[in-house]
Amino acid sequence: MKLFNKTWKLAIAGAIVGVLAALLAFFGNPANMAICVACFIRDTAGALSLHSAASVQYFRPEIVGFVVGAFIISLITKEYKATAGSAPMIRFLLGMIMMIGALVFLGCPLRMVIRMSAGDLNAYVALIGFAGGVATGTFFLKKGFSLGRAYETKKANGMVLPIALIVLLIIGVATGAYAASTEGPGSMHAPIAISLIIALIIGIIAQMSRMCFAGSIRDVILMKNFDLFSIIGALFVVMLIYNIATGNFHLSFSGQPIAHSQHLWNILGMYVVGFGAVLAGGCPLRQLILAGQGSSDSTVTFLGMLLGAAFAHNFGLAGAAAKAATETEAAVAGGPATAGKAAVIACIIVLFIIAVTNKRNLKRGK
């Protein structure tokens, strides 16, 4: 969109998202996790009883807001276009894989940047893996990787997810039927109205600016283009200022909220996310935005992430947060258990298989 046709304008967009993220943290979202698409999808899966991890169950209005915000603005700007048919089952699998990698690290790329802005050195380590994953995916893009083209379909197809999420939110608010955590990350949240309004605005900005964490690094590698990267940089600076001003900046590996210092698995977890995001055509946030503007393929990816979150917690694949010792309990190092480590390795293998077996013939353009 022409509103964000300059790098400095994109930086302003990132700064605004940073301010909105800070507001979510101020009004009650977990410390060091003002916005985390992976965590929000995980909490929502728990609210819908797709998993039974009691500390991470809450129907996050932010998920609704991101999708619906993108949906509304794409209708207004006439960028809404219902499409489908680009390797849906592979995209579903990529959604699951990205979620498993994110939950081993304990955050999506957006939360990684937010954790970095709060001084979490574990997130800086994870950035190495994420950038490496994006670079690997970009290598295969250069070699001709493609999941094929999406085809235009009836407009109603692209409206299913926004409408379904609105209905689910209304049901939750009206009946209180969903599971809800009484302690842990799921119990920490801003008021519903504030969360929804802020997320709607973020959804609008993300759609208009093409905000994507994987795409920002991909564009630098492919085209030496820093436009999308300026969004991420500005968001980081704003959150850094907020964390310093509120006393939430602590430069360390230990003592970080909802984090662990198992460096190899932080790196490999985010390597999976970066690699998967490039193959899928966008990071978890970007998938929600694309789904909002009509892509059924991104809706399928979202459903993969939702099931992936349930799978990760039902089968012990998600990383555990580190905990300091108390008078009654010993310290916990955190990180993934053996099942989670095995899942990450399996995900990397599957990503390479997908990347190698889905290359078009560059000479024939197929």
Q: Which residue shows structure tokens 């946030």?
A: 285
Supply the pTM of this predicted model.
0.94
Residue 261: its pLDDT value, please? 95
Give the distance from CA 106 to its chain's centroid: 11
Nearest to 44 by CA among 65, 33, 55, 60: 60
Residue 33: its pLDDT value, please? 81
Residue 337: its pLDDT value, please? 95
Q: What is the pLDDT along the chain (366 residues), one digit of tens a residue?
A: 467 778 889 999 999 999 999 999 999 998 778 999 999 999 999 999 999 999 999 999 999 999 999 999 999 999 999 999 999 999 999 999 999 999 999 999 999 999 999 999 999 999 999 999 999 999 999 999 999 999 999 999 999 999 999 999 999 999 999 999 999 999 999 999 999 999 999 999 999 999 999 999 999 999 999 999 999 999 999 999 999 999 999 999 998 999 999 999 999 999 999 999 999 999 999 999 999 999 999 999 999 999 999 999 999 999 999 987 666 777 778 999 999 999 999 999 999 999 999 987 655 544
How many Cβ atoms from other residues are within 10 Å of residue 254's Cβ? 14
Residue 361: its pLDDT value, please? 61
DSSP 85-144: -S-HHHHHHHHHHHHHHHHHHTS-HHHHHHHHHTTBHHHHHHHHHHHHHHHHHHHHHHTT
Q: How far is CA 189 from CA 108, 141, 257, 290, 337, in A?
A: 18, 39, 15, 25, 28
